[in-house]
Structure 1
Amino acid sequence: MLTSVGRRAYMVKYFKEVLGNNGKVFVCNSDDKSIAFKYADEKVISPLIYDSNYIPFLLEYCKENRIDIVISLFDIDLLMLAKHKKQFEEIGTKVIVSDPSIVEVCNDKWKTYKFLTDNDFHAPMSFLDMNEVIEKISEGKLSYPIVVKPRYGCGSISVAIAYDEEDLRYLTKKANEDIANSYLKYESSVTTDKVIYQECLKGQEYGADIINDLTGKTQNVIVRKKLAMRSGETDIAQLVDEQNIKETLVRLGKTTKHIANMDCDIFMVNGIPYILEMNARFGGGYPFSHMGGCNLPKAIVEWAKGKTVDKDTISARTGITGYKEIYITEI
């Protein structure tokens, strides 16, 4: 079952291709406005993630339908499932999710920054205090433009660039308002520092899938060069062989010991990979890896059965470019 499936209809299709006639793909979402509902074998509307009935609902549904595997496609959902992973195991359902500590690091951009720098990875300078940013700029230790975004943001929600102090103050106010008026308010409620400020790196942007098995052992890294972006997701990308990035992310995968996929954003600045974000799930860039021959859904199903997966299953050809398209589907 894929939870918080949203518009990731392609993930439903990938898993259906793997299972064939030997299983079903279930999906759930908090409302029925999901194109994935059209392609799933079974669908159900779930309570909201922060509803007290959410986990009991999923447990009962998995038990009734003998669900073997649960995979979430949404950041906020990950932590909830990670905290209740053992309860699912007790009914025979394996939740493909990393430990809560790693999910928290990925969901909180400040913890991401601290985790990366503490483990000797390069990351853009980050701050939680707007006044500290202004002070650093006045001292010549930092310069505009500055990226302003929600500390617990997803996609490109309220991500903006400040080119001067007036921008900085306005965008900070706007980000806080956007957080208060969206689902970001739930995770952001744990702190008063809801906005994060980062230096704006200049370089080529890349995305990557760090693939670990279900024991957290790193198996492969697939790198894509981002050629076009739309609403925070990669629109056009080329699969590339960037050994510097790959070596850095293999080390990252060994450090996080995450489960299955970790979607990463990287900037290459003067030959040095800087890691911007880590998402402990399938990201919007995974279809490019799949297009290149990687079949992580198949690997997950095989690993869940206790089987060995060969390297070709989780590898992708380099040098090919993928384009996402937009089309209308009637439900």
Structure 2
Amino acid sequence: MNILICSIGPRVKQVEFLKEALSNEGKVIAGDSDPLSAALYVADDFVLLRPFTDEGYIASILTACREHDIDAIIPVRDEEVLKLVKNKSVLDNLGIKILTPSEEMVEICLDKMKTYQYIRNLNYPGVPTFSKTEEMLDILAEGYFDFPLIVKPANGDGSIGVCVVDNKEELERITSTNERLLIQPYLKNREFGCDVYVDLISGELVDMFIKEKKEMKEGATDKAVSLHHPELEKLVRNFLKDSPELRGPIDIDLFEYNGHYFISEINPRFGAGYIHAHLLGCNYMDYIVRNLKGQANTPAEPCHYENGVTMVRYYDYMLKRF
């Protein structure tokens, strides 16, 4: 069994974890458009792909799959998740599995407005998200939320272009441009990340890891502490039961505000902080390999990881002679 993990960049640990899960039963092929991506050189082999913004991206994926006899693809960037799932029928015809939810579900997850509407339609608490100033002001008038607000590009990536707005005048000034913006209340009493694995075969929730985010950098978790939190666990479990199209590794972000919990984002892929979960025994790579062998996973015991363990992200260096 050969697995392509693409646009891998610096995610060295994820490649190493996947190699351990495959053991001697296959190879991990790392793909990226940058030949200096560190994770390429810890995989069993690597391929240089076209950038996912390039029209030739899918053609380069198909070439890599043929040359390396690929059985499955794990995408780790939002943009490539959407491109791959839109070409699912082509990959299916080649017998290649992509670890993503359905195309419809991916499109919901990658659009913050659609995400909020989806969460609300299922009667779960989502972070109020609007594109019109008047809509946000109406919510503020109800008295539950207040300034400051968050204003960000509708098609933003990570925390690029995000600004905090403290009053109505500032809000109206920032939103007077023609740029498509989204407006949300600033619900950052506490922020949480939840890494889940939903079985590709049975559709059951197999494992869940909750962390409280202590520091973020460029949209990724820099410091976090593992957390046992029954109320959050129940919220996520129930939400996933009502969202049967969410499968595989999923990263869910949540906020606490005035003692209440809100689902913020649903990322249809591994989260950047998955290392934390893995090192504390939530081995989603094993679950993937078992599913790809046609075996359903047995759900893990709830909160089997150690509570209160802090992860701190740091940078290392690699020397390579080309």
Paired residue for 2:267?
279
Paired residue for 1:62?
65
Pick one of 221, 230, 236 that aligns with 1:243.
230
The residue type paired with residue 205 of structure 2 is T
1:45 aligns with 2:48: yes
1:210 aligns with 2:196: yes
Pick one of 214, 217, 222 that aligns with 1:230.
217
| CA deviations over 1:11-67 (Å, ceiling 9, x no partner) | 111111212333211121222242212212222221232433322321232122111
Paired residue for 1:155?
158
| CA deviations over 1:166-210 (Å, ceiling 9, x no partner) | 54356557994xxxxxxxxxxxxxxxxx32100111422111012
Distance 1:279 1:5, change over 3 A: same
Alignment of 1:14-53 (within 5 A): 14-53=17-56
Q: Is the 8 A contact 1:149 1:175 kept in 2?
A: no
| CA deviations over 1:294-313 (Å, ceiling 9, x no partner) | 11011101111012434449
Paired residue for 2:317?
328
The alpha carbon displacement at 1:130 in A equals 3.1
SS of the residue corresponding to residue 263 of structure 1 reads strand
Structure 1: distance between partners of 2:223 and 2:275: 11
Alignment of 1:4-19 (within 5 A): 4-19=7-22
Distance 1:221 1:138, change over 3 A: closer
Distance 1:148 1:299, change over 3 A: same
The alpha carbon displacement at 1:117 in A equals 0.8
Alignment of 1:112-123 (within 5 A): 112-123=115-126
Identity, in percent, stands at: 31
Pick one of 175, 178, 184 that aligns with 1:198.
184
Q: Which moved more, 1:166-175 or 1:42-51?
A: 166-175
User: Is there any run of 5+ residues in structure 1 with no aligned partner, and where?
Assistant: 177-193
Pick one of 77, 84, 103 that aligns with 1:100.
103
Q: Is the 8 A contact 2:200 2:296 kept in 1?
A: no
Structure 2: distance between partners of 1:284 and 1:237: 12
Q: Is the 8 A contact 1:133 1:142 kept in 2?
A: no
Alignment of 1:51-90 (within 5 A): 51-90=54-93
Structure 1: distance between partners of 2:108 and 2:228: 28
CA-based RMSD of the aligned residues comes to: 2.4
The alpha carbon displacement at 1:275 in A equals 0.7
Q: Which moved more, 1:46-55 or 1:305-314?
A: 305-314
Structure 2: distance between partners of 1:136 and 1:303: 44
SS of the residue corresponding to residue 25 of structure 1 reads strand
The alpha carbon displacement at 1:245 in A equals 0.5
SS of the residue corresponding to residue 152 of structure 2 reads strand
The residue type paired with residue 39 of structure 1 is V
Structure 2: distance between partners of 1:131 and 1:95: 41
The alpha carbon displacement at 1:126 in A equals 1.6
Q: Is the 8 A contact 1:160 1:171 kept in 2?
A: no
The residue type paired with residue 242 of structure 1 is H
* TM-score normalised per structure 1: 0.86
Q: Is the helix fraction higher in 1 or 2?
A: 1
Q: Which moved more, 1:201-210 or 1:287-296?
A: 201-210
Paired residue for 1:289?
277
| CA deviations over 1:81-103 (Å, ceiling 9, x no partner) | 11212221221211111101111
1:220 aligns with 2:226: no
Structure 1: distance between partners of 2:311 and 2:178: 33
The alpha carbon displacement at 1:123 in A equals 1.7
Pick one of 290, 293, 316 that aligns with 2:305.
316
Q: Is the 8 A contact 1:155 1:231 kept in 2?
A: yes
Distance 1:162 1:70, change over 3 A: same
Q: Which moved more, 1:161-170 or 1:295-304?
A: 161-170
Distance 1:60 1:173, change over 3 A: farther
Structure 1: distance between partners of 2:134 and 2:39: 44
SS of the residue corresponding to residue 250 of structure 2 reads strand
